Amino acid sequence: MVALVPPSGRAARSDRRRGRGLPVPAPDADPLDVCVNTQTPLLQFTGVATAEGVPTRPPETARLSDLEEGVDYRFSPGGVTRMVYPLLKRLHTDRRVRSMHWVALNPLAPETVFADDLVLHNVRVAPERLAAYGNVKETIWGTVHGLRHPEGSDDLFWSDDFSEYAYYNRLTAEKMRTLDADEDFDLFYVHDFQQMAIGEMLHTLKPKLFRWHIPFDVADLPESWRPAMTNYLNSYDTVIVSTDRYLGQLKEFGYTGRAVKLYPYVDPSDYTTPPPEEVRATSARWGLAPEDVVALVVARMDPMKGQDRVVRALARLAPDHPQLRLLLVGNGSFSNAKGGLGLSKADRWRASLESLAQELGIADRVRFTGHVTQRELDVAYERSALTVLPSPREGFGLVVVESWLHGKPTIVSRRAGVAELVRPRRNGLLVDPDEDDDIAAKMDLVLADPEGLGARLGSAGRRTADACTIDAAAQAESLLFGEVVNGG
Amino acid sequence: MTLPPWTAFLPYIEFAAILVVTWALGRLVGLLLSRVIGQTMPQVSAAAGRLGAVTVWVIGGVLALQELGVSTDIVLLVVLLFGVAAVVALREPLQNIGARYFSDLYTPFRLGDVVEVAGHRGKVIEINPITTVLLAEDDTLRSVPNSRFVQEVVTNLSPQAWREVNVPFSVGGGVDMPRFESALRKSLGKLRLHLDPRFPPVLMTRARSGQSTDLTLTVLIRRPEERDAITAEVGKRVADMVARAQAGRY
């Protein structure tokens, strides 16, 4: 159990210096045994194909030390796992968490993978069920992100596909319940909308935390979903959302339990400044000349990310900025991966962006990098003059924090959660993502004054990023864990 | 003619054989009863199965004792007297236990509902085999015998309570719950025009052991006049699914 104490003496002074002012769990608090659940797994396995191209059944258990990164598996890029993994590592290092079990959907993975102190449990779902589950997931995703009319999916929860969504949730809940029989967890921590039914299905009196990672706007959600969704959400002891606005919307929607806002986060130590020669070499590989001025969009290849809006803005700016180039970094998500849900959305979206650039006559100004390593991501930020987050809806937008960590001026969609942290003309610029002219105008502002406005925005943004670091998150989540476990 | 010496053990062999047959019959009768009863009343199927098995064991035990030359008249008399005494002594609790089973089926309330019965009003916070515990508005507990809930008028004061249809039932411990739930949802989807579209079916686990899982299915109906028909249809679909699960389909 975690005992909570208010900050005092040295610890409090340290916290005040860091601008947090939060109470911290007592240093002698017992570490917790935690079961985490995400849809996307930490490690994506490629599977071993037979001569017929059919993946062989993976072994039941494996040790990570026996596997080779890049050959047997790769770390899932971005998204929820990029937050959860550093958090678990930090809480374990700080002795706030003892045993860590992570249950995720992973059709081609061994059932259990032992990764030092972390045990990964992979849930396997047959392809036909997976496809139906994927349809439900995409429907919820598209609706929440304003890509579907709210009334267009009224009967979603009655569809046969939803039976498979329930199947996946029940399968995961059963796995977590079985693990609990052996491990006697202190806390269940479920992440995101793909698993919202698990809290109800777990049938346990133990504390259950749920983190909603995507946007939460009542106007986007069909009225007919409200009873079912609130029923699912109310089965958790606490629901975490990413912004104050979502917090208000969650309560307006009908959630009656405890809700808290915690900003998403990154680990600043993951972000480094590559040497100039590496920046030059990698940029050249992407087709960028030294004199090019680079506008950067880091996002998954998905219509929801709104890269098309920046392509159109670029076309407007092209006559006045002959050296301006657009660098689009990112590939598909787990849903698009062959080892994931196998959807091909990313390829289709990239093709449509390429043809849009072609139509606008700026194909030679747009570069696609596909998936990049962390090192290459650092190069992309370093090489950029500005970054843009043009999403029509965005749960938060950690790429803005990444950009701030690199001290780059950032243009942010008003409909992204992170917009809550942007003070216009102080640490960033806000745009209406549906107004290409607005995006172009704000880009032009920064391009016209890189040393003045651009530098000021980047410098102030660097300070704002402190609110979204692993340090702040570990402290806040550790405190929350303690409160939830102790019923605080 | 002298009988071979092994025939001296014949009564014991027959005794053992009757016990073996009794064991097999007990299992068979228990299974059949729970399956047949489960077609109409899935929530009492497990108890019916156990009762059937116990009855077979009593009969088998008496027959087996007869083979050993034990006078079963006394045994039967003792069993009968015990039975009568138990029924007399446990009349009230048995009524309550019986009412508990039937209230699952016929009484329209569940944990968390505010009800009024026999002059007592409160939130239902516990339903045990003997009593239903109400938390009254003055923060006192009212323990109402379950039998009152089938003998008296019960008023459910929770809003929209008429909409809710709860079907408690049990499945074997070996049932693949994800597959079972998925199939059940698809089956109930056929009734969607008669059910409240805003409330998809909810399948709650009430208790779980190695042998069985106790569940409650909740659906909400659209029109009050259809309650009886929908309750019967949902119960039938659940019973069908439970029968399939027992046949190893899930």
Same domain, A86 and A192: yes
Chain B residues inside the 8 Å CB shell of A157 = 200
- Measured distance CA(A395)–CA(A380) in Å, rounded: 23
Interface check for A30 against chain B (CB to CB < 8 A): the answer is no
Chain B residues inside the 8 Å CB shell of A166 = 178, 181-182, 185
User: What was the pLDDT predicted at B35?
Assistant: 75
Mean pLDDT rounded to a whole number for chain A: 89
Same domain, A103 and A128: yes
Q: Which residues contact A71 (CB under 8 A, 6 or more apart)?
A: A46
Search chain B and give the residue with CA nearest A226: B198
Chain A residues inside the 8 Å CB shell of B187 = none
Taking only the tens place, the pLDDT of each residue in A144-179 is 988 888 777 888 999 999 999 999 999 999 999 999
Common-topology check for domains B106-156 and B161-246:
no
Select the residue of B178, B186, B204 nearest A174 (Cβ to Cβ).
B178
Q: Which residue has the tokens 């307006």?
A: A252
Search chain B and give the residue with CA nearest A175: B178
Same domain, A219 and A366: no
Cβ atoms of A189 and A262 within 8 Å: the answer is: no
Same domain, A337 and A449: yes
Q: What is the pLDDT along chain B (250 residues), one digit of tens a residue?
A: 677 777 878 888 888 999 999 999 998 988 888 777 766 666 567 777 888 888 899 889 888 888 888 877 877 888 788 888 877 777 776 777 776 666 655 667 888 889 999 999 999 999 887 889 999 999 999 999 988 888 889 898 988 788 888 888 989 888 999 999 999 999 999 999 999 988 999 999 888 887 888 899 999 999 989 988 999 999 999 999 998 988 888 8
Please give the tally of structural domains in chain A.
2
Same domain, A11 and A157: yes
**B205 vs A16 pLDDT, higher one:** B205
> Side chain identity at A323, as an amino acid letter?
Q
- CB pairs < 8 Å spanning A and B: 55
User: What was the pLDDT predicted at A341?
Assistant: 56
Backbone phi, psi, residue A422, to 5°: -90, 125
- Measured distance CA(A205)–CA(A30) in Å, rounded: 20
A11 CB-side CA count, 13 A: 11
**A319 vs B248 pLDDT, higher one:** A319
Chain B residues inside the 8 Å CB shell of A155 = 192, 197
Select the residue of B178, B197, B204 nearest A224 (Cβ to Cβ).
B197
Would the pLDDT of A79 be above 80? Answer: no
Same domain, A258 and A350: no
Same domain, A191 and A153: yes
Chain A residues inside the 8 Å CB shell of B177 = 170, 174
Residue A483: which of A57, A24, A20 has the closest Cα?
A24
CB contact under 8 A, B178 and A224: no
- Distance to chain A for B167, nearest Cα, Å: 17
Q: Which residues pair with A112 in a beta bridge?
A: A61, A121
Same domain, A274 and A183: no
Task: Tell me which residues of chain B, numbers 191 to 230, contact chain A at a CB-CB cutoff of 8 Å.
Answer: 192, 197-200, 202, 204-205, 208
CB contact under 8 A, A163 and B204: no
ipTM higher than threshold 0.85: no
Interface test with B, best of A123, A154, A167, A231 (most B CBs within 10 A): A167
- Distance to chain B for A170, nearest Cα, Å: 5
Q: What percent of chain A has pLDDT over 70?
A: 89
Interface test with A, best of B176, B198, B203, B222 (most A CBs within 10 A): B198
- Measured distance CA(A180)–CA(A186) in Å, rounded: 9
Chain B residues inside the 8 Å CB shell of A174 = 177-178
User: What was the pLDDT predicted at A7?
Assistant: 35
User: What was the pLDDT predicted at A342?
Assistant: 57
Distances in Å between the Cα of A282 and the Cα atoms of A78, A374, A388, B4, B196 are: 21, 13, 21, 100, 58
Interface check for B113 against chain A (CB to CB < 8 A): the answer is no
Select the residue of A166, A226, A231 nearest B185 (Cβ to Cβ).
A166
Interface check for A231 against chain B (CB to CB < 8 A): the answer is yes
Taking only the tens place, the pLDDT of each residue in A253-271 is 999 999 999 999 999 998 9
CB contact under 8 A, B192 and A154: no
User: What was the pLDDT predicted at A466?
Assistant: 95
User: What was the pLDDT predicted at A4?
Assistant: 30
Interface test with B, best of A158, A174, A202, A223 (most B CBs within 10 A): A158
Same domain, A342 and A442: yes
Q: What percent of chain A has pLDDT over 90?
A: 75
Q: How confident is the model at residue A2 (pLDDT cuts 50, 70, 90)?
A: very low
Q: What residues make up the domain containing A189? A: 4-265+469-486
- Distance to chain B for A225, nearest Cα, Å: 6
The fold of the B106-156 domain, in CATH, is SH3 type barrels. (2.30.30)
Cβ atoms of A311 and A356 within 8 Å: the answer is: yes
Would the pLDDT of A210 be above 70? Answer: yes
Same domain, A318 and A205: no
Chain B residues inside the 8 Å CB shell of A160 = 186, 189
Search chain A and give the residue with CA nearest B176: A171
Would the pLDDT of A473 be above 70? Answer: yes
- Measured distance CA(A377)–CA(A367) in Å, rounded: 14
Taking only the tens place, the pLDDT of each residue in A335-387 is 555 555 555 678 899 999 999 999 999 999 999 999 898 899 999 999 999 99
Q: For chain B, what are the domain ranges? A: 5-89, 106-156, 161-246
Taking only the tens place, the pLDDT of each residue in A102-155 is 999 998 899 999 998 899 999 999 999 999 999 999 999 989 988 888 777 888
Chain A residues inside the 8 Å CB shell of B202 = 200, 231
Same domain, A57 and A194: yes
- Measured distance CA(A13)–CA(A27) in Å, rounded: 16
Interface check for B177 against chain A (CB to CB < 8 A): the answer is yes
CATH code of B161-246, in short, is: 3.30.70.100
User: What was the pLDDT predicted at B102?
Assistant: 64
**A78 vs A458 pLDDT, higher one:** A458
Q: Which residues contact B69 (CB under 8 A, 6 or more apart)?
A: B11
Residue A431's CATH number: 3.40.50.2000
Interface test with A, best of B185, B195, B208, B213 (most A CBs within 10 A): B185
Interface check for B76 against chain A (CB to CB < 8 A): the answer is no
Chain A residues inside the 8 Å CB shell of B174 = none
> Side chain identity at A208, as an amino acid letter?
K
Residue A310: which of A289, A325, A290, A332 has the closest Cα?
A325
CB contact under 8 A, A170 and B177: yes
Taking only the tens place, the pLDDT of each residue in A394-414 is 999 999 999 999 999 999 999
Structure tokens at A434: 């549906």
The whole-number average pLDDT for the span A427-438 is: 97
CB contact under 8 A, A154 and B199: no
Cβ atoms of B216 and B204 within 8 Å: the answer is: yes
Same domain, A205 and A329: no
**A35 vs B59 pLDDT, higher one:** A35
Interface check for B160 against chain A (CB to CB < 8 A): the answer is no
